[in-house]
Amino acid sequence: MLFYLIRRFLSALVTIFLASALVFVAILAVPGDPAEIILGINASPQALAALREQLGLNEPAWRRYLSWLGGVVRGDFGESLNYQRPVATLIVDRLEVSVPLALGAMFVACVIALPVGIVAALSRGRWLDPLLTSLAQLGAAVPSFWLGLMLILLFSVELGWLPAAGYVPWERDPVATLRSLALPVLALGLGQAAVMTRMTRAAMIEVLSQDYVRTASAKGLPRRRVVGGHALRNALVTLVTIFGLSLSQLLIGSIIIEQVFSLPGLGRLVLTAIGTRDFPLLQGEILVYASAIVLLSFLVDVSYGLLDPRIRYQ
């Protein structure tokens, strides 16, 4: 198991390293002089020279990459050009919005997807399964940002229950924070619930058709014990994978949802960075997103190995 863990971890590290190179090379490929792009063509030669010095543009690319990477390893992503603050601080500050958003959406998705998916799998061949499956298929086709607009229309415009946009920090008024996060969490979570319902159903059906489930039923165990004890436990292996991958999807989905609800999270930060051509911030944030995805997939593999001994001995 330890060997498996180490091998998987090293492979994740290599992937993150290559991803960092990709991000760096992509920004390097920006046509023209970055200093001129940032300051505009009317900038004075002195200002341009100063910025080139600040960005380290006078050094060769590989050297800049190594010094950037060296900083990243120590948690130093450089300084944002637009905010004049360390990129790492900016990112950490925004986590208070983006993390509750993603986790809240995950919670909503699980609370819906697990029971509905299991019920659909158990009622296979009866009227309930096709109904639930069709609903899930329809739900998966609804873009989260459009669902967000529809929720605003219903709960803010028509009913006036919840704010349509904006964010109140936790320390000022936690209830207001929760109210401002409610619709974004729903918009993001409901779509993911539809996707996860289908996957939960498929995983349960797969397990229910196994021999050991038939054996459990044949030896007279009550249905509840068969489903809860034998089937669900084994389906968990697949479900952990699904939930891990869903978390990366929610992370990316939150970029769009934050835009819909004007939430000052990581997603808004990265979009602002594009608009203001804030390359250090952009580089840092995209690398953080990509690394989070690689690490999540690593964690999924690890839990997979922990839950299913057959995998780690392969």
Partner 1 sequence: MRLTRLPANIVVGSVLIGVVVFGALLSFVWLPYDPNTLDFSAQLAGPSRAHWLGTDHLGRDLLSRLLVGARGTLYVGLVAVGIALSVGCTLGAVAGFAGGLLDELLMRIVDVLYAFPAILMALLLAAVYRPGTLTAMSAIGIATVPVFARLMRSSVLSLKGRDFVEAARALGSSPSRTLLRTILPSALSPIVVQASLSLAVAVLAEAALSFLGLGTPPRTPSWGNMLREAQSFLALSPYPALVPGLAIVTTVLGWSLLGDGLRDLLDPNTRR
Q: What is the dihedral of CA 216, 233, 186, 154, to 10 degrees?
A: 0
Q: How far is the CB of 142 from partner 1 (least distance, A)?
A: 6
Residue placing its CB nearer to partner 1 in the complex, 140 or 168: 140
Q: Mention every residue, 6+ apart, whose C-beta is less than 8 A from residue 152.
A: 164, 165, 183, 260, 261
| Range 143-172, binding partner 1 (CB under 8 A) | 143, 145-146, 149-150, 152-153, 157, 164
Residue placing its CB nearer to partner 1 in the complex, 38 or 49: 38
Q: Is 141 in the site for partner 1 (CB under 8 A)?
A: yes
Q: Is 14 in the site for partner 1 (CB under 8 A)?
A: yes
| Range 227-266, binding partner 1 (CB under 8 A) | 248-249, 252, 255-256, 259-260
- Select from 9, 13, 15, 123 the one that contacts partner 1 (CB under 8 A): 15
Residue placing its CB nearer to partner 1 in the complex, 221 or 299: 299
| Range 275-304, binding partner 1 (CB under 8 A) | 277, 279, 282, 286, 289-291, 293-294, 297
Residue placing its CB nearer to partner 1 in the complex, 111 or 154: 154
**31 SS3 class:** coil
Only segment of 80-88, 230-238, 273-281, 300-308 that touches partner 1 (CB under 8 A) = 273-281
Q: Is 188 in the site for partner 1 (CB under 8 A)?
A: no
- Select from 6, 138, 218, 311 the one that contacts partner 1 (CB under 8 A): 138
Cα separation, 35 vs 12, in Å, equals 34
Q: Mention every residue, 6+ apart, whose C-beta is less than 8 A from residue 206.
A: 235, 238
Number of residues that bind partner 1 (CB under 8 A): 51
Cα separation, 294 vs 237, in Å, equals 19
- Select from 137, 173, 225, 311 the one that contacts partner 1 (CB under 8 A): 137
Residue placing its CB nearer to partner 1 in the complex, 200 or 291: 291
**86 SS3 class:** strand
- Select from 2, 3, 29, 40 the one that contacts partner 1 (CB under 8 A): 29
Q: Mention every residue, 6+ apart, whose C-beta is less than 8 A from residue 6.
A: none
Radius of gyration of the chain (CA): 24
- The total number of residues shown for the chain amounts to 314
Measure the N-to-C terminal CA separation of the chain; round to a whole number of Å. Answer: 11
- Select from 35, 72, 110, 270 the one that contacts partner 1 (CB under 8 A): 270
Determine the angle formed by the axes of helices 61-73 and 2-28, rounding to 10 degrees. Answer: 140
**25 SS3 class:** helix
Residue placing its CB nearer to partner 1 in the complex, 97 or 286: 286
Specify the residue for token string 């330890």.
2
Evaluate whether 226 touches 217 at the Cβ level (below 8 Å): yes
Cα separation, 158 vs 147, in Å, equals 15
Residue placing its CB nearer to partner 1 in the complex, 67 or 134: 134
Q: How far is the CB of 91 from partner 1 (least distance, A)?
A: 15
Cα separation, 229 vs 200, in Å, equals 16
Cα separation, 86 vs 153, in Å, equals 38
For partner 1, the binding residues (CB under 8 A) are 11, 14-16, 18-19, 22-23, 26-27, 29-31, 124, 137-138, 140-143, 145-146, 149-150, 152-153, 157, 164, 202, 205, 248-249, 252, 255-256, 259-260, 270-271, 273-274, 277, 279, 282, 286, 289-291, 293-294, 297
